[in-house]
Structure 1
Amino acid sequence: MVRVAGTGHTEDMSEDEEHLWYYCVSDGSVRQGKDARGLDRMGPYPDRQTAERALEIAAERNKAADKAEDDWNN
C-alpha cells in the first residue's frame, strides 16, 4: 500500500505503477507515481517526456475524435 500525498489516504499501487508518470492539471507539474488526486491527474505515461506532452497529446486525440465524428455524420 502507498500513502497518497495530500489526500490523507492510502491506495493499492503495484510497483510498476509507481514508475509511471502523470501530468497534474492543477499545477502543471509532472510527477512519478499517483501522488496527485485522481481528478487532477492525466496519465499514466511511460516516461517523463511523454507526460510533459500530456496536454498536447490530449488536444491531438480530441482533434482526431472530432474528425471521426464529422466523418461519421457526413
Structure 2
Amino acid sequence: MAFWFNVNSGQVESDDNKSQGADLMGPYDSEAEAANALQSARERTEQWDAEDREWEEGKSED
C-alpha cells in the first residue's frame, strides 16, 4: 500500500482514502515517510541548490 501527504490538510492518506488532485505528495512506502514529506522535500531542495551553486562556481573558474 502506498501513502500520500496532503499539503492542504497536513494529513497522511493511504491509497484507500487519498484525495484527488495536485494537493498530494507521494507516493511513499510508509506512513512515516509520507508524514515527513515536507522535510524531505526541503532537504532535497537545499541539496540541489548547493549542487547548483557548486556547478556555477566551477563553471566560472574555467
TM-score range, shorter chain: 0.7 to 0.9
TM-score (norm 1): 0.71
Between structure 1 and structure 2, the one with the greater Rg is 2
The DSSP-based 3-state class of the residue aligned with 1:39 is coil
Identity rate, percent: 30
Q: List alignment gaps of at least 5 residues for structure 2.
A: 58-62
Q: What is the CA distance between 1:37 and its match in structure 2?
A: 2.1
Moved over 6 A (4+): none
Cα RMSD, aligned residues only: 1.1
TM-score normalised by structure 2 residue count: 0.84
In 2, Cα distance between the equivalents of 1:26 and 1:55?
12
SS at match of 1:42: strand
Richer in helix (by share): 2
Task: Please identify, of 51-60 and 30-39, the stretch whose mean Cα deviation from structure 2 is larger.
Answer: 30-39
Structure 1: gaps (5+ residues): 1-18
